[in-house]
Structure 1
Amino acid sequence: MAQRIADVGPSFWANCFLRDVMKRRYGAAILIAILLVALALAWWSRRPAPPPLVVGGELPAPCRDVGFEAVSYVVCEIDLRTNSIGVFHAGADGKPFGSLQAFDKAMQAQGQPVLLAMNGGMYHEDLTPVGLLIEDRIQKSPLNLADGEGNFFLKPNGVFLIGKDGKAAVMEASAYATARPDVAFATQSGPMLVIDGQLHPRFEPNGTSRYIRNGVGVRDGNTVVLAISRSAVSLGSFARLFRDALGCPNALFLDGAVSALSGGERMIVGGHYPAGPIISVSAKRPAAG
């Protein structure tokens, strides 16, 4: 062993020394990195947590809990003789509200608090509506009669509207295009849930696609019914809710998974996802004089 060590020469020991130095530097670098990560985690843990999203509590006056086919719902029946319904998307700056919470805060700041707000139709990644949007008599997005993938294009789809006469309706989209009603507020979505008392022809009785869902139905010109499930439900069962339990001859699916309902000051269901078009309910103000 002594002879073999003597034969290696000075370059061998220089290389060993360099390797030892590099190992020490590498180990020090790892130690510094671990310390930096630990400090970052400690700093992050000391940051104040965001306020929790309050969901639940007592329901607003127009709403009640309904059980149907083993699924719980919040159902809100709106009398248009005492309440107003509008469809909204963007604030005065032209930017989408983006969420029910932001919309509620904006309305409160304007001195126009709302009773209820619900996500009111499907949207693209930039929150622009996929279909028709009429906000306070101004068309912000055109009627979409194209074919495509996804629930919106599961024909027939439809339009929920409030006419300039204050009456509500849910119309199949092509019928809307033909009739061209005089509209104050409107939002397009799809598919239709109930069409003149009949369930959408493409629905299975109780399909395997299950999500928290929300929709809107019209019982008559003065009565709008908003419903949102508290747990996952199929489109077939959701459609039967509107037809069989809520008495709506026409009803429209608004969205699934991102569905949410607020009571003006707090969330009732959902609220964790963005919102494009928003359906708003507010109490009518007494006539002056």
Structure 2
Amino acid sequence: MNAPSVPPSPALQTAPEVARPAELELWSNRRLVHPLSRTLAARLASTWVTPNMVSVAGAAMAAVGAAAYTLLPRPWGALLGLLSHYAWHVLDGADGDLARRTGRSSPSGELVDGICDYAGRTVLYVALGADGAAQFGGWVWLLAGVTGVSRIVQANFYETVRRQYRRWVYGTAWIRQTLAAGPPGGRGPAGALGRLFLAVSTRVTPDSTVLDVAMEHAAAAGSTSRQAARAACQAELAPVVRRAAILSTNAETVAVFLSMLAGGPIFLFVYVAVVLNAAYAGLYAGQRRRLARTATRLTPG
């Protein structure tokens, strides 16, 4: 398991929130998605719209994009699908911005955001599978299923290593820590979903327990030790997180568009199943080495 074996220390809990570290930002996010997300969140902050509503709207835009890709003729269907999916990205960024602006950030909200992301991706790959099966036969469903599961693993890896990085370098809490005292909703459906989320997260990324513990010890040793530990994590782990951007949803959006523009989803399925799975395997191994190396640097003696 990747969960820390000791409770989060006050030194880490009170560190300032850093939503989007500049050193990890993708060009498309920095120049397009996040400025639009911030503008939208600022407009919505004084309204009755909640962050969860924005998350659901994002999933709806993903469904619109899936319909455009598969039901409208090319190239216009592909273009509308691309625009719809970028609207999804904008809404996906705006829900978190809105939560921070209005003081409504919570583990349950983060969980709703994740569920909506997976729902949007599921609708997309079911639609693409149906389109591919219509072109090449029912066997494409198997390839579509492999692709969909692969994307869940790949995207979860990317998001997890990003959030781990933010936790270790900037002290930003995320659902793995905030659920440590008990998942939102206790033993109800939300709690079960929280446990499922953590179960997937801990299996698609290398075990980080040793580094979690080392960072907690550094935080307890004082501000100088804590800052040195964060600097070591930043130097060691930022390269892997940047390289993992090939697994991001931004890159996926471009790949879907190019595949559908070229003639159908089969190109995307092969790319994800072969190229991105190979990239994921390499990134997983690299992250495991870097976690062990960083923990060794931070462990006295």
Q: Shorter-chain TM-score: what band?
A: under 0.3
Q: Report the structure, 1 or 2, having the larger strand content.
A: 1
Q: Normalised by the size of structure 1, how large is the TM-score?
A: 0.23
Q: Report the structure, 1 or 2, having the larger helix content.
A: 2
Greater C-alpha radius of gyration:
1
Q: Normalised by the size of structure 2, how large is the TM-score?
A: 0.22
